[in-house]
Each structure stands twice: as C-alpha cells, then as structure tokens.
Amino acid sequence: MSAELVTSDEEEETLDEVDQFRMPLLEHLKELRNRLLWTVGAMSIAFGISLYFATDIIDFLKIPIDRALLDAGVDGGLAIVSGPFEGVYAWLRAAFLGSIVLSSPIIAWQVWGFVAPGLYKTERRIVLPLTVSSTFLFGAGAAFAYYVIFPVAFPFFFTVIDADVNLSVQGYLSAVVKMMLAFGVCFQLPVGSFFLARMGLIDHKDMLSSFRYAVVGIFVIAALITPPDILTQSLLALPLVGLYGIGIVVARVFSTKERDL
C-alpha cells in the first residue's frame, strides 16, 4: 500500500506543470466568460467616465488637423455634413476611444490571465510584466500615430490640390481612431513573438531566415493602414522592422522549439 502511495506521489511530482492546469472545454468557456465580463465591466465604467470628458477628447484629437491646416496655409476645418446626429456619433466615438485607453491595462491583464494557466510556473510570473509591456506598446503605437504620422501626413494631403478643406467630424474622428488603434495593435509584435516562441512554433532562427519576407509583409501592412503615400508608409514600417528585431531577441530567449541536430 505504501509503495503504491510513493509511486503515486512520484507520478504527481513528475506531472507536467501545464498538465496540472488542464480543464475541460466547459471550464475554459466559463473562464473566458468571466474574463469577458471583467473586460466589459471595465470598459463600461471607463466609457461612462470618458463621456464626461468627450468634448476634451475631441478637442485633443482635433489638434493635428488644426495644426496641419495652419502649417499648410489652407482654410477650412471640421463640420457636421452628413446628418443632424453626426455630432452625437462623434461624441460617442471619442468616448469609446477614451474607454479603450482607460481600460487597456485591465483588458491586457484579463487576456494574459486567461493565457496564464497554459504557461509554466516560471512563465506565469511574467504575466504582470507582459501586461505592463503590452499596455505600454499599445500606448506607444497610438502615440506614434498621433505625434509622428498625423503631423506629417495631414499637411501633405491638404496641399495636393488648391482647395479649402471641410471634413466631416464623424469621418475625421473615425479615421483618426482607427489609425491609432491599428498602430497600437501593430506595436504588439514583440508580445506576439513571445507567445509563438513559447508555443514552440518559432525560434530566432526562423525569424532570421524569414526576415526578408517579414520586411515585405510589414511594408504591405503599413500600406494598408496608413494613407497612400510612401512617407507615412515608411514611418510605420521602419519602427515595425525594429520591433521585429526585438522579437528575434525575445524568441531567442523564450523559444521552446526543438531542432534536430
């Protein structure tokens, strides 16, 4: 009897750490539901707060176009042109962007918290650093769009033809918000490299051998996200190439991929 207990204890000790956290599909769905509820709750509270500051958010988002019009020497500005509810839609869109920014740490925490049971004990310790780095990279991407891309792109487009500029408030805010969110997502490249490396799908050698193709893909993605000119495309692509380089280092340190000798 005692020998059986010893054998059982030894088997439990040698059981893979990840296997100890395996759950049935229903449990995974419940865990996902709870994480989503926390995310929705955080965004709802942040949205309520952002509604109060929506006008200030709109004023902040208008700064790039106001400066671009001034620098380009072009008359014009934002106007309500598509309907009487356009101002309300713009107000809500600004509040939505504010809710994303305010709740982004909680969203990142819930994402990595859901992934954590699939990691080893030593890896679960970096969930908090991953949350912080993911939030920082998202903010860095959005800020890069606001402070670098917009000041360069807007004056160029406003001077292509000699005409006054009268943009829809909703159309302008929609384009600005989408670009800032897209840049924030693109800047998650090192975090994505970490998870692919930990899953054993890639290592630094794979990323080095695919570097040329990755550069082409990055420029294609940049062309799809940014306005259609080579300058703004390059302004996004070059930082992403640098982040790809950081991803190579991350993959070298954390990859679990085994190669045949």
pLDDT at 117: 64
- DSSP codes joined into one string, 39-102: HHHHHHHHHHHHHHTHHHHHHHHHHHHHHHHHHHT--EEEE--S-TTHHHHHHHHHHHHHHHHH
pLDDT at 6: 44
As a whole number, the mean pLDDT across the chain is 79
Cβ proximity of 191 and 134 under 8 Å: yes
Above 90 in pLDDT, residue 45? yes
The rounded distance, in Å, linking the Cα atoms of 147 and 63 is 10
pLDDT at 12: 47
The rounded distance, in Å, linking the Cα atoms of 140 and 97 is 15
Across 44-48, 122-126, 170-174, least confident range: 122-126
Above 70 in pLDDT, residue 186? yes
- Identity of the highest mean pLDDT range in 6-15, 22-31, 133-142, 226-235: 133-142
Above 50 in pLDDT, residue 91? yes
What number is the average pLDDT over the span 37-44?
A: 90
For 97-136, write each residue's pLDDT tens digit. 889 888 888 888 887 777 766 555 666 677 677 778 888 8
The DSSP letter of residue 167 is E
Structure tokens at 59: 């004023």
pLDDT at 260: 63
Whole-model pTM over 0.85: no
Q: How confident is the model at residue 162 (pLDDT cuts 50, 70, 90)?
A: low
Above 90 in pLDDT, residue 180? no
Above 70 in pLDDT, residue 261? no
What number is the average pLDDT over the span 28-52?
A: 87
What number is the average pLDDT over the span 234-256?
A: 88
The rounded distance, in Å, linking the Cα atoms of 89 and 193 is 37
User: What are the structural domain ranges in the chain?
Assistant: 24-186, 188-261
Exposure class string for 94-123: b at 16+ Cβ within 10 A, else e: bbbbbbbbbbbbbbbbbbbbbeeeebeeeb
Above 60 in pLDDT, residue 36? yes
Above 70 in pLDDT, residue 9? no
pLDDT at 11: 43
